[in-house]
Amino acid sequence: MLKSYKNKKKILVTGGAGYIGSHTCIELLNTGYDVLILDNFSNSSTSVIKNIKKISKTRINYIQCDLRDLADTKSILKKYKPEAVIHFAALKSVIESVRKPYHYFSNNVSGMINLLGAMEYSGVKNIIFSSSCTVYGKQNNFPVDEKCSLNQAQNPYAHSKQICEKLIQDMCNYNDFKAVILRYFNPIGAHSSALIGENPIGIPDNLAPFITRTAHKIYKELTVFGNDYKTPDGTCIRDYIHVVDLAKAHVKSLDYLLNKQEKFTIDVFNLGTGKGVSVLEVIREFERCTGVKINYKFGPRRKGDLPVMYANPAKANKLLNWKTELALKEMLVSAWKWELRNCKREFSFRNYYE
Ligand code: NAD
Ligand code: UD1
């Protein structure tokens, strides 16, 4: 029987059918929030909602809407009147953003502007925003903390996140909005049920889904982009974080935001483990904990890649009372379990090579 959610705090989750949004919805439902997902399903599907229900055994509502439609967005907010919005909905491919910058500004920036407008119109003042470590741009010292300056964006995706952060900042400075901005490092892995996970449409840009699909022989080989960086093994270093740890940080952020009495406030938090791991270390750990060999070769550097990026998560550890609990092994094993469960995809993706 599904749990009901009368008299619970209402949270609107934009992009809640996506990878990070779906994991966060489960944590919100498990904590007792009433959740409405707003999604245009451009990079997800309604089957995710069924699986969220299955995992959480809780009723969850969703509405198909594109944030670029201001009238629809306003009417949804006015009708549902949430306590807060968690805003995931955006396009997220760095490579695609270089090819189609307008697409990224239209979707990510116009979507943000409409959402803020709809929130103001309906009197909803609390927002949590999905930002990214990419807003830091090139840095010389690591780990990066929230006080580091935001340097030149390396691509339109990064620029769209910098702009959205500034827009939210102004709503908090000049309007009585309260906001938490979360800068994610590299989320990977999947829910332990293997019912939800990362499911990029087409050939993935990101490392983890490329590794699991190569292990699954959907792709012949993985290209490691560059082995001549000034890092211990020559490959890039990132801070990989389990998506379930990341999802839990959203619940902590929401509690923090809703309990905060002052208006006109904004808090920024890095969400990472604080540990830098190289591409080769990820591949070796995947092979070690799954027993599956990855066929890989070294290729040239990928344009726009930063050699090193990892977080100082001390602020989130302290103020949100949150820290990561799951190790790289759990990230990679859960990603592999998810890949195997989704093997139906295999045939359609094989077509790329036939
Ligand atoms: P995702 O693509 O899986 O989820 C995004 C969801 O938003 C999808 O369900 C999509 O259909 C929806 N969406 C997109 N544009 C929309 C619009 N205009 N109106 C309504 N719905 C729309 O992506 P994700 O990995 O879950 O990322 C969520 C957020 O986190 C994004 O803002 C992304 O930029 C940010 N982020 C992601 C990563 C990462 O590596 N996954 C890292 C840092 C930040
Ligand atoms: C980047 C951003 C992140 C953003 C994300 C969205 C930085 C530091 N991070 O993640 O904030 O949200 O894009 O997509 O800018 N790699 C390979 N072969 C592959 C794929 C990846 O070697 O086939 C390497 C990359 O060169 C990189 C690492 O794996 O060093 C991780 O890449 P990826 O998973 O794409 O994430 P980022 O580019 O770090």
Predicted pLDDT at 353? 35
Q: Is 70 a domain residue?
A: yes
In this structure, of 29-38, 86-95, 135-144, 201-210, the range with the lowest mean pLDDT score is: 201-210
Mean pLDDT on 202-209: 91
Ligand 2 atom closest to Cα of 237? 30
Rounded CA separation 275/309 (Å)? 10
Predicted pLDDT at 67? 98
Residue of 62 and 204 predicted with greater confidence = 62
Q: Is 5 a domain residue?
A: no
Predicted pLDDT at 3? 57
Ligand 2 atom closest to Cα of 235? 30
Predicted pLDDT at 194? 96
Predicted pLDDT at 350? 39
Rounded CA separation 325/71 (Å)? 42
Mean pLDDT on 268-296: 98
Q: Which of 94, 203, 219 to mutate to test the pocket of ligand 2 (most atoms within 8 A of CB)?
A: 94
Same domain, 72 and 126: yes
Q: Is 149 a domain residue?
A: yes
Query: How many domains does the chain fold into?
Result: 2
Q: Is 194 a domain residue?
A: no
Mean pLDDT on 116-125: 97
Interior angle at CA 14, CA 12 and CA 15, nearest 5? 140
Same domain, 328 and 179: no
Measured in angstroms, how far is the CA atom of residue 92 from the centroid of ligand 1? 6
Same domain, 171 and 224: no
- Residue closest via CA to ligand 1's atom 1 equals 18
Ligand 1 atom closest to Cα of 87? 32
Rounded CA separation 23/190 (Å)? 8
Predicted pLDDT at 37? 98
Same domain, 214 and 284: yes
Rounded CA separation 313/325 (Å)? 13
Q: Which residues line ligand 1 (CB under 6 A)?
A: 14-15, 17-21, 39-44, 66-68, 88-92, 107, 111, 130, 132, 184, 187
Residues 19, 157, 184, 219: which is the catalytic one?
Answer: 157
Predicted pLDDT at 166? 98
Measured in angstroms, how far is the CA atom of residue 231 from the centroid of ligand 1? 30
Ligand 2 atom closest to Cα of 93? 14
Residues 159-198 have pLDDT tens digits of: 999 999 999 999 999 989 999 999 999 999 999 999 999 9
Grade residue 110 by pLDDT with cuts at 50, 70 and 90: very high
Same domain, 217 and 90: no
CATH code at 22? 3.40.50.720
Question: Last residue of some domain: 271, 288, 312?
Answer: 271
Same domain, 177 and 320: no
Predicted pLDDT at 2? 53
Same domain, 148 and 252: yes
Predicted pLDDT at 7? 67
pLDDT, mean over the chain: 94
CATH code at 224? 3.90.25.10
Ligand 1 atom closest to Cα of 133? 43
Instruction: Examine the residue annotation and report whether 19 is marked as an active-site residue of this protein.
Output: no
- Residue closest via CA to ligand 2's atom 15 equals 134
Measured in angstroms, how far is the CA atom of residue 93 from the centroid of ligand 1? 9
In percent, the amount of the chain with pLDDT more than 90 equals: 88
Predicted pLDDT at 352? 37
Structural domain boundaries, residue 126: 10-189+241-271
Q: Considering every ligand atom, which ligand is closest to the CA of 87? A: 1
Residue 254 structure tokens: 């929401």
Grade residue 18 by pLDDT with cuts at 50, 70 and 90: very high
Query: Is pLDDT of 115 > 50?
Result: yes
- Name every residue whose Cβ is closer than 8 Å to that of residue 192 and which is 6 or more positions away in sequence: 244, 334
Q: Which of 39, 62, 115 to mutate to test the pocket of ligand 1 (most atoms within 8 A of CB)?
A: 39
Same domain, 65 and 150: yes
Q: Is 43 a domain residue?
A: yes
Q: Is 198 a domain residue?
A: no
Q: Is 353 a domain residue?
A: no
Grade residue 262 by pLDDT with cuts at 50, 70 and 90: confident
Same domain, 317 and 335: yes
Query: Is pLDDT of 354 > 50?
Result: no
Q: Is 195 a domain residue?
A: no
SS3 labels along the chain? CCECCCCCCEEEEECCCCHHHHHHHHHHHHHCCEEEEEECCCCCCCHHHHHHHHHHCECCEEEECCCCCHHHHHHHHHHHCCCEEEECCCCCCHHHHHHCHHHHHHHHHHHHHHHHHHHHHHCCCEEEEEEEHHHHCCCCCCCECCCCCCCCCCCHHHHHHHHHHHHHHHHHHHCCCEEEEEEECEEECCCCCCCCCCCCCCCCCCHHHHHHHHHCCCCCCEEEECCCCCCCCCCCEECEEEHHHHHHHHHHHHHHHHHCCCCCEEEEEEECCCCCEEHHHHHHHHHHHHCCCCCEEEECCCCCCCCECCECCHHHHHHCCCCCCCCHHHHHHHHHHHHHHCHHHHHHHHHHHC
Measured in angstroms, how far is the CA atom of residue 117 from the centroid of ligand 1? 20
Q: Which residues line ligand 2 (CB under 6 A)?
A: 92-94, 132-134, 186, 205-207, 210, 222-225, 236, 238, 279, 302, 305-306, 309
Measured in angstroms, how far is the CA atom of residue 206 from the centroid of ligand 2? 5
Same domain, 329 and 312: yes
Q: Which of 27, 36, 40, 207 to mutate to test the pocket of ligand 1 (most atoms within 8 A of CB)?
A: 40
Measured in angstroms, how far is the CA atom of residue 94 from the centroid of ligand 2? 8
Same domain, 170 and 227: no
Same domain, 267 and 312: no
